[in-house]
Amino acid sequence: MTSPEPTAGLTFPPDFRWGAATSAYQIEGAVHADGRSPSIWDTYAQIPGKILGGESGEVACDHYHRWPQDLDLMAAMQLNAYRFSVAWPRVIPQGTGAANVAGLDFYDRLVDGALERGLEPHVTLYHWDLPQVLEDQGGWANPDIPQWFAEYALAVYGRLGDRVASYATFNEPWCTAELGYHAGRHAPGLRDLRTSLKASYHIQLAHGQAIQALRQQNTGAELGTVLNLYPVDAATEADRETAILIDEKINRWYLDPIFRGTFPERAWAHYGDAVPDIDPSALAAVCQPLDFLGVNYYFRQWVRGNEVLRSGPPDMALERTAMDWEIYPQGLHRLLTDLHRHYPAPKYLITENGAAFDDVLVGGQVHDPSRTRFMQSHLAELHRAIQDGVPVSGYFAWSLLDNYEWAFGYSKRFGIVHVDYATQTRTLKDSAKWYANFVRSQRG
């Protein structure tokens, strides 16, 4: 006998946003179209050994040309919201200065197309594809970049304006600073702690400046940002102190400046003289009133000895995805109730949640019961958080489509819609059909 669906009988708030999420470099392709300049990912993907299979986003899901069909898919699924990112190298190919009308035209069409189909557009301004010309000047480590970013944000706003429901400044700044400038696992592939901390500081400043600039436009769109957050657990009693430090390094290094205008003390002390020179008044200005915080939730972090184990202790019998990430739905409830207590925002959006599995397309179908189960169990925990008083107003499945999973190339399939990369055929997986039914029942 199968156990009942964890979501059976649950009712979400009537105005809840049900969506799917994507990002520009992961789906658009068309990297040379209409005046787009190379991004750091175009460059990085060419370095031998950096990407599994040596793959790049050159074609990806060809969403740049197939966007009407992709929007149709979401409309057919009854979704009422779509989260996507804008590519800076399309909008301002030189990084600073003149905006590229043809690049903005694409997002203009996309926004109108979404609205026509009853999909609320939710825009992320930066999802990792920095113009290479800016990286050539130091990228996020350059002290001028907050200003460049604020100008870019205004260029996007100037064209898309209030047709967009929300603007998020950044997607997962920890990934940019840590994976890009310290661990060397993402573009631009640097391995330098000092540079990485400088980058994290400049991202914070850029967030604050862009929010201020957008606020001055009296925009009706909601303003916020998107963080990757994790409950952090100690594997043994002896790991407790380290777990607190890791929580500060990954979660609070970003939450504290945004919500309090400070950096967390332990992590600060731990980094010692690697921390950049801080201008206290500039740091204080990072803390701007936000309309929402976007939460990307995938798994928890386990700490054992000096290691951070994203798959959990290997000797523990945990359920894991194809990324080897632990499946831990309760973490979403923990995270949200904890955020609500310590970092209160007017509202939270689950801007990403999902899983990769080894999907196979057989006879025009993809049976992915693990993904359906993943969504059900996480939505049940999300519902529990809402019941407990956390103001969550939307959920975006990561991802609408199978896509370019960064250093993993096309090997990891996160989509609720399957993509056959040889033919660009889209096929709704069983999980997408389940989600569509569930959303339909919620929307009445």
Query: Closer to ligand FCB at the Cβ: 10 or 350?
Result: 350
Contacts with ligand FCB in 390-429 (CB under 6 A)? Answer: 398, 405-406, 414
If one asks whether residue 172 binds ligand FCB (CB under 6 A), the answer comes out as yes
* Residues 56 and 42 sit within 8 Å (Cβ to Cβ): yes
Work out how close the CB of 244 gets to ligand FCB at its nearest, in angstroms, rounded to a whole number.
23
Given a contact cutoff of 8 angstroms between Cβ atoms, the answer to whether 124 and 75 are in contact is no
From the candidates 55, 248, 326, 352, which is the catalytic residue?
352
String of contacts with ligand FCB for each residue 205-244, x by CB under 6 A: -----------------------x----------------
Q: In DSSP terms, which residues pair with 396 in a beta bridge?
A: 19
Binding test (CB under 6 A) with ligand FCB, winner from 56, 132, 171, 288: 171
Stretch that binds ligand FCB, among 169-177, 278-286, 338-346, 422-430 (CB under 6 A): 169-177
Q: Is position 352 annotated as part of the catalytic site? A: yes
Question: Which stretches of 248-368 are DSSP H helices?
Answer: 253-260, 265-271, 280-284, 330-342
Q: Which tokens belong to 368?
A: 């992915």
- Between 264 and 294, name the residue whose CB sits nearer to ligand FCB: 294
Q: Which two tokens stand for residue 428?
A: 């709704």
- Determine the Cα–Cα distance for residues 349 and 394; give it in Å rounded to an integer: 5
x-marked contacts with ligand FCB along 291-330 as a string, rule CB under 6 A? -----x----------------------------------
Tokens of 382: 């999300």
**Helix/strand/coil for 360:** coil
Q: CB of residue 323 vs ligand FCB: minimum separation in angstroms?
A: 7
Cβ neighbours around 206 below 10 Å, total: 25
3 state SS of 111: helix
Taking the least distance from each CB to ligand FCB, the nearer of 100 and 228 is 228
Residue among 300, 295, 318, 320 nearest 310 (CA): 300
Q: Is 12 exposed, middle or buried (0-12, 13-18, 19+ CB in 10 A)?
A: buried
**Binder among 55, 178, 352, 402 for ligand FCB (CB under 6 A):** 352
| Residues involved in catalysis | 172, 352
Contacts with ligand FCB by CB under 6 A lie at 23, 26, 171-172, 175, 228, 296, 352, 398, 405-406, 414
